[in-house]
Structure 1
Amino acid sequence: MRYLPLTPADRTEMLRVIGAESIDALFDDVPEAARLSGTIEGLPDHATELSVERHMTALARQNTVAGEVPFFLGAGAYRHHVPASVDHLIQRGEFLTAYTPYQPEIAQGTLQMLFEFQTQVARLLGTDVANASMYDGSTACWEAIGMARRITRRGKAILSSGLHPHYVSVAKTMAKYTGDVLETGTPTLSADTDLDALIAAIDDDTSCVVVQYPDILGRIADLQPLADACHAKKALLIAVVTEPVAMGALKSPGEMDADIVVGEGQSLGVGLQFGGPYVGLFGCKDKYVRQMPGRLCGETVDADGRRGFVLTLSTREQHIRREKATSNICTNSGLCALAFSIHMTLLGEAGLRRLAGLNHAGACHAADRLAQVPGVRLVTPRFFNEFTLDLGQEARPVVRALADRGVLAGVSLGRLYPGEDSLANGLVVAVTETTTPEDVEALATALEEVLA
């Protein structure tokens, strides 16, 4: 049983002080449909530990395990091979924490790891500087929008229709409390991105343009013209990378003059884990570093001239900045950042490029084979390791039918964009180094059967 030190009288007094009628009033911002009423169906009110273990194990067996079937899911979370040494090293006693210590200079090993993580992320994204990580890609995306507002003193952000809808949703949730105006749209099942439309929409009130690279359909675009258009109007370009392995093959957003580059680092060192915990990447140009959220580790020398590491920049609300802090994100995904850094170190630049090559080659093979299935059209002729198919019929029931055949075929756009009939036939397929030719053939064969 948990130890609950507060008495009913304590709770009543706390509610009185903050002006809330009940504890339920603290959750008014949570939509009614998302709240749980009553107990969880299927679980008893109380049970022995052994009974709970058996019950939860039985529930877990109903899941389809990613590593046991042909697996093509992506759309922001990717199945890559994580070397066993990553898990071994992050479980060492000096590292097994998700948090940077409050007296950080004592933990020199942790700070050095974060310093090296920052260096790896900055090189990967093509930015001058990177912070010590954030919660995940979606919150990093929102923090970039908030950072652009502080820099430009403008409150309108233009979000590409190719930006992951979950990232858009997070931004909309946060914008309700900041007053930012977000202009958004939905993609079309075509090979063309919306860069021309984004350029045309930039005006003197625009703080930033946010674009995903590659985008939610897997499309790749040259960001330089968009960056030039943003800078002509004194706006910032924010690029979002949800698949960092792609940076082993593609020109980085920073090289195309993006001002802020954020991303999801899950692909390197971090398993799928049912959607989290993950690790957010955040880099920017050096001139904007003091507006960057989160923490920044730096290298210095101590009184004896020895190399050491410190928290160089930490403009968070728990320190002296208080309400003037750049962000209320007051931690970093330390353990996941360590896993990312170990995996990157094991790969090295040559290994990352080879890994990227394997991903792209496998995706090309899969796209060619699946495009041969009658009724299927390849929407994205240029891609990295993820592409979109038009199945000629609604994709969601097809995905379910394929799952019944033991093939996890991909992410249907109808799931990502409910109610958008123009996208209902779209299926986003991801291929990584873990995908075998036999997996591709199993998907193609099952797809032929279901679509027949």
Structure 2
Amino acid sequence: MSNGDRAAMLEKIGVDSVDALFVDVPESARRSGTVDLPKFAGELEVEAQLNAFADQNISPAKVPFFVGAGAYRHHIPATVDHIIQRSEFLTSYTPYQPEIAQGTLQVLFEFQSQVARLTGMPVANASLYDGSTAAAEGVLMATRVTKRNKAVLSGGLHPHYRETVETLAHAVGIETEACAVAVDNEADVLQHIDANTACVVVQTPNVFGTATDVTEIAKAAQAAGALLIVVVTEVMSLGLLKSPGEMGADVVAVEGQSIGVPLSYGGPYVGLFAAKEKYLRQLPGRLCGETVDADGERGFVLTLSTREQHIRRDKATSNICTNSGLCALAFSIHMSLLGQTGLQRVAKINYAKAHAARDQLVTAGFEVVTPRFFNEFTVKLAKPAIAVVEALAIKNVLGGVPFARLQNEPGFENHLIVAVTETVSDADIATLVATLKEVAQ
């Protein structure tokens, strides 16, 4: 491409330089110059260099690991990876032709059934990209249902989810109103509801770990003609806590990563999406159904597909192009292996270990500010949490997520979000407490 070509393209899109295209990327995140790599190298040398880069990472499996805040380390049975590596699953794509995609359609149908049961909702779709985009799709859906134009976002909503919702909402002209950040004040959303409110978005357990019964919030929102969207970032919590459906949710958006999907440096993950049956035709993505064929045999079909590729563009309710199919399969396999009893058992272990960790931290003199939680809570330290986490990492302890890493909010610089799953041992907890006492007090 010539300089003239570049100049013509920049002029067409209305910017002065290529650098102007990256104005939203912070200066601190930009690289000046090229990466210091050799111009060429053999495969053996490249492999050695990449392994050296990889060795600079600290593996969650090798050190005490308490990182959560939306992505969690859980034990995944080896059977999950073994099954998804089978060629009929690994290479499967969108089931456009049901007569040759019965296996894929059945897997998605079973997946939907599991998600509906887990969330306590009557219908679920065949998955979305991740929890944050599922939340954003819920907001878009609520505006279609209510013919209103404002979304109220709880102060306990994960900042990354809030930013995702705000980005998509801005693109289509939806107003968003975010409540003040709070460890435990989900009901604050009710003060922001007016005649233009399409939905109220509440997360439980919230980003600080606080678990909330949102039954009364659901009643108040619905009385005002708005929908309640419940966000869950730790799907394992649904093995123990009351389901969103039981609490009156209209829409549920969940990150399903904790079941069957490894951390993988942040993705790909799998978004779970469920709703009341009366909103079925407004669901984003696709929905698979069970039927019988001409011979009366059990069969599966693509019952609902709302993407613009399938129907008139102006009637589409989604531009979701796929459904994280392999991750959805991994979720479904892990759920099948666990069963209801297994899921509840793992959830109880998470709850017990987290509360044991909380008790030891409190005994050691730390202030835990989360009043009710599943497997994640927030510690308010005496100094900035970012510096403390860096000091912990030097001592080979991955001690949690500073809230300031997620959002620069005055008054929350010292808040450290700590997640404790079944993969954490008693020795890990003791190490965290002892090391925190060294670097944070």
Q: Provide the TM-score with structure 1 as the length reference.
A: 0.92
CA distance in 2, matches of 1:27, 1:308: 53
- Aligned pair 1:384/2:384, yes or no? no
Partner SS, residue 173 of structure 1: helix
Instruction: Write the distance in 1 (CA, Å) between the matches of 2:426 and 2:64.
Output: 10
Q: Within 2, Cα distance between the matches of 1:347 and 1:392? A: 41
Deviation at 1:186, TM superposition (A): 4.0
Pairing 1:124–2:118 present: yes
Maintained 8 Å contact 1:172/1:182:
yes
Which moved further from structure 2: 25-34 or 322-331? 25-34
Q: CA deviation at 1:393?
A: 1.6
Distance in 2, matches of 1:203 and 1:350, equals 43
Kindly report which structure 2 residues correspond to 1:347-358, keeping only aligned pairs within 5 A, or say none.
Answer: 347-358=338-349
SS of match in other structure, 1:142:
helix
Q: Does 2:245 match 1:235?
A: no
The answer as to whether partners of 2:151 and 2:198 remain within 8 angstroms in 1 is yes
Q: Tell me how far 1:46 sits from its aligned partner.
A: 3.6
Q: Which residue of 1 aligns with 2:251?
A: 260
Among residues 396, 399, 403, which one is paired with 1:406 in the alignment?
396
Match of residue 66, structure 1, among 43, 51, 60: 60
SS for the counterpart of 1:298 is strand
* Counterpart pick for 2:166 among 161, 164, 172: 172
In terms of mean alpha carbon deviation, does 131-140 or 43-52 score higher?
A: 43-52
1:193 maps onto 2:188 in alignment: no
* Alignment partner of 1:325 is 2:319: no
Q: What residue is the counterpart of 1:51 in the other structure?
A: 45
Shift of 1:26: 12
Task: Look up the SS of the partner of 1:182 in the other structure.
Answer: strand
Identical-pair percentage: 56
Partner residue, 2:151: 157
Q: Partner of 2:195 in structure 1?
A: 204
Aligned to 2:295: 304
Structure 2 unaligned regions, length at least 5:
none
Q: Does 1:368 align with 2:362?
A: no
Q: Residue in 2 aligned with 1:3? A: none
Report the TM-score when normalising by structure 2: 0.94
Q: Shift of the alpha carbon at 1:32?
A: 5.0
Question: Which of residues 118, 132, 135 is equivalent to 1:138?
Answer: 132
Structure 1 residues 351 and 394, CA gap change in structure 2 (3 angstroms): same
**Cα distance in 1, alignment partners of residues 19 and 5 from structure 2:** 13
More off after superposition, 305-314 vs 376-385:
376-385
Q: Which residue of 2 aligns with 1:451?
A: 440
Q: Cα offset for 1:97?
A: 3.2
Q: Which moved more, 1:43-52 or 1:382-391?
A: 43-52
Q: Distance in 2 between matches of 1:261 and 1:159?
A: 14
For residues 432 and 19 of structure 2, the distance between their equivalents in structure 1, rounded to whole angstroms, comes to 47
Decide whether the 8 Å contact of 1:243 with 1:267 is kept in 2: yes
1:229-282 per-residue CA deviation (whole Å, 9 max, x = no partner) reads: 111111000000111110010100111110000110000000000000000000
Instruction: Decide whether the 8 Å contact of 1:117 with 1:132 is kept in 2.
Output: yes
Q: Specify the SS of the correspondent of 1:141.
A: helix
The alpha-carbon deviation at position 391 of structure 1 amounts to 1.1
Task: Indicate conservation of the 8 Å contact 2:95/2:302, yes or no.
Answer: no
C-alpha distance in structure 1 between counterparts of 2:285 and 2:384, whole Å: 42
Partner of 1:247: 238
Counterpart for residue 222 of structure 1: 213
The number of residues matched between the two structures is 437
Distance 1:252 1:134 in 2: 20
Q: 1:232 to 1:52 in 2, by over 3 A?
A: same
Distance across 1 between alignment mates of 2:37 and 2:383:
38
**Secondary structure of the corresponding residue to residue 406 of structure 1:** coil
Q: Residue 24 of structure 2 aligns with which residue?
A: 31
Q: 1:295-353, CA deviations, whole angstroms, 9 ceiling, x for partnerless residues?
A: 10000111111000010000101112324210111210000000000000000001111
* Aligned position for 2:427: 438
Runs of 5+ consecutive residues of structure 1 not aligned to the other structure: 1-7
Among 240, 258, 281, the alignment partner of 2:272 is 281
Instruction: Tell me how far 1:41 sits from its aligned partner.
Output: 2.3
C-alpha displacement at 1:21, in angstroms? 8.0
Structure 1 residues 438 and 228 mapped into 2: Cα distance closer, same or farther (>3 Å)?
A: same
Give per-residue Cα distances to partners, 1:381-404, cap 9 Å, x unaligned: 310000111112211111111111
Judging changes above 3 Å, is the alpha-carbon distance between structure 1 residues 40 and 431 closer, same or farther for their aligned structure 2 residues? farther
- Residue 109 of structure 1 deviates from its aligned partner by 1.1
Q: CA deviation at 1:12?
A: 6.6
